[in-house]
Structure 1
Amino acid sequence: MSMASDPVRVAAAQMTSISDVASNFATCSRLVKEAASAGAKLLCFPEAFSFVATNDGDSVRVAEPLDGPIMNQYCSLARESNIWLSLGGFQEKGSDPQHLCNTHVIVDDTGKIRSTYKKIHLFDVDVPNGRVYKESRFTEPGKDIVAVDSPIGRLGLSVCYDLRFPEMYQLLRFKHEARVLLVPSAFTKVTGEAHWEILLRARAIETQCYVIAAAQAGKHNDKRESYGNTLIIDPWGTVVGRLPDRLSTGIVVADIDLSYVNSVREKMPIDQQRKPIDFWKSASL
């Protein structure tokens, strides 16, 4: 697919998914129609867009293969609205009944799945407010870094906790030639307040890519709350799109200008100035 030359409109969605697949699909359908009406060629949804579990094990029970009825609904939605969708963090059935894959799915405007990325870095963390998360109990980690061409340029795929591992985004930029990084997320309120925006802007600056970060927001249930603050950031690190309300359900729209990516990269040619470094080799003192 040829690279876009003129600015192309994109949208990022913010929502509060719950443990009701049909209700979440109704919300997503409304946001897709809104994005299509705004002229967006791509709409990015957050992690766990189709389902957020109330109880441990619920996500594994609702997990489906990519050709199952849940994903088929979203593929039909993309086709009917003539828009590409980034479905960031789908509960894909794993290799055994006890596990799923946290899969980022790219669907084109004909409803065809163009690419998938399985989340590599799993959220096994003791959050400072006392809540313990252990995503690896029910999720199989992915192994492959993935980029895919689209109408808005080459997309580098990731999911949520991947954001804290900059070497992944370096590979997406310098090895896989990404120009737009997608970071669908469900950041916790505590970690989001501390680190969300600064990490996203850092990833944009150090890779000289646009970053589109669709976020879950608000209280999903009595146990779980997400930070929100859906953002679109340009390759200079400037926020060019943000929902006015950090917790509202809705979309933010911005234009992706690949000529600006080229300009930033030409003026600061870090791709030519990078030096090979062996991070694992200890220096002698």
Structure 2
Amino acid sequence: MFFPLFSLLGFTFEHTIVCDRLWTPKGMAMALHALPPLVKVAVAQMTAISDTNANFITCARLVQEAAAAGVKLLSLPECFSFIGSRDGEALGIAEPLTGPIMKRYQSLAREAGLWLALGGFQEKGPDDKHIYNTHVLLDDYGRICSSYRKIHLFDVDVPGGPVLKESNNTAPGSEVVVANCPAGKLGLTVCYDLRFPELYQRLRFAENAEVLLVPSAFTKKTGEAHWELLLRARAVETQCYVLAAAQAGKHNDKRESYGDAMIIDPWGTVIARLPDKLVTGIAVAQVDLSMLQAIRLRMPIEQHRRYDIYGPSCPQQVPSKGDEKHSSL
């Protein structure tokens, strides 16, 4: 893939050599041999409803489509397995991560032989009145590698849109989560997190994330105004790939999501998206970590950060959970 804008920083060919001493035929051959392989990733777009079996059938079809395309990591959107029509309905279907719903998705990942990021699962919470909105990462054997409980809860009266108060029935998480996978080091987030750049600064500059996952169910009103804008901003300011799976269309009479699932590269370019904001399907692109490394080398914003003036933007007192060993769940 060729990126014309890279000429502004001296990028002149697909796999950029990042050291001046390698600008020789022998040096370029050695460097190209050492570059990490390109990895296919995908984001899903769907319209979940209040039927976990119907949603599983939709997700299974998307997983099969991704596997056929050679995808190594597929990201499903927030609430992939259930979106209710009444406030508090998710409490009735919430399960621990050892429950039967999760086991079906573990089998799905294992049978397809790909990594599966489950963007927002209704995990049984700390009490009978609350769940966790949990982003679960499965490896290609179906094992749970990492889980992130959504930190920022959507308690908003959307101008011209619905009034949503996620905290009524959802407890917030308290840990930042990163995990290694074939596509690079992943930073796990969920939907409303996108509006809080401090989290993404932490994932990039303290945890060294390379790929940020932002599975979402953005409202139609906020999506029209801010969805792509915020995603591209997070990519540029962190120099990371951003994978944004999305819920789309009308889930019921009360709930409608914006859609527009997309993948953005570390230069802020949208490199994949579905042709329609409402269609069910996947968007596929390649993660090129050599390109990411070249951007970070030529524009070293990590070195230019002025902690002496504005203080640390990634406070270390916030717990971090990353690079976990495979769980037996």
- TM-score by length of structure 1 reads 0.96
Within the alignment, does 1:40 sit opposite 2:71 as a pair?
A: yes
Q: Measure, in 2, the Cα distance between the counterparts of 1:141 and 1:270.
A: 31
Q: Which of 194, 202, 227 lines up with 1:171 in the alignment?
A: 202
In the other structure, the counterpart of 1:219 is: 250
1:193–1:227 contact (8 Å) kept in structure 2 = yes
In the other structure, the counterpart of 2:288 is: 257
Shift of 1:131: 1.7
Q: Which of 266, 271, 278 lines up with 2:311 in the alignment?
A: 278
Within the alignment, does 1:190 sit opposite 2:221 as a pair?
A: yes
Larger radius of gyration: 2
2:150–2:193 contact (8 Å) kept in structure 1 = yes
Shift of 1:278: 3.3
Within the alignment, does 1:71 sit opposite 2:85 as a pair?
A: no
Unaligned runs of 5+ in 2: 1-33, 314-329
In the other structure, the counterpart of 2:233 is: 202
Q: Which of 275, 278, 281 lines up with 1:247 in the alignment?
A: 278
What is the root-mean-square deviation in Å for CA atoms of aligned residues? 1.3
SS in structure 1 opposite 2:234? helix
Q: Which of 265, 268, 285 lines up with 1:237 in the alignment?
A: 268
SS in structure 2 opposite 1:169? helix
Shift of 1:273: 0.7
Using the TM superposition, name which of 4-13 and 226-235 deviates more. 4-13
Q: Which of 200, 211, 226 lines up with 1:180 in the alignment?
A: 211
SS in structure 2 opposite 1:111? coil
Q: Which of 106, 110, 129 lines up with 2:160 in the alignment?
A: 129
Q: Which of 45, 50, 55 lines up with 1:24 in the alignment?
A: 55
Unaligned runs of 5+ in 1: 281-285
In the other structure, the counterpart of 1:154 is: 185
In the other structure, the counterpart of 1:283 is: none
SS in structure 2 opposite 1:193? helix
Question: Which whole-Å deviations, capped at 9, do the CAs of 1:224-281 have from their partners, x for residues lacking one?
Answer: 000000010000000000100110000000000000100110010001110111389x
Q: Measure, in 2, the Cα distance between the counterparts of 1:38 and 1:148.
A: 24
SS in structure 2 opposite 1:88? strand
Question: Which whole-Å deviations, capped at 9, do the CAs of 1:75-98 have from their partners, x for residues lacking one?
Answer: 000000000000010000001111
Aligned-pair identity (%): 64
SS in structure 2 opposite 1:261? helix
Q: Measure, in 2, the Cα distance between the counterparts of 1:24 and 1:116.
A: 21
Q: How many residue pairs get matched?
A: 278
For residue 42 of structure 1, what is the amino acid of its counterpart? L
In the other structure, the counterpart of 2:82 is: 51
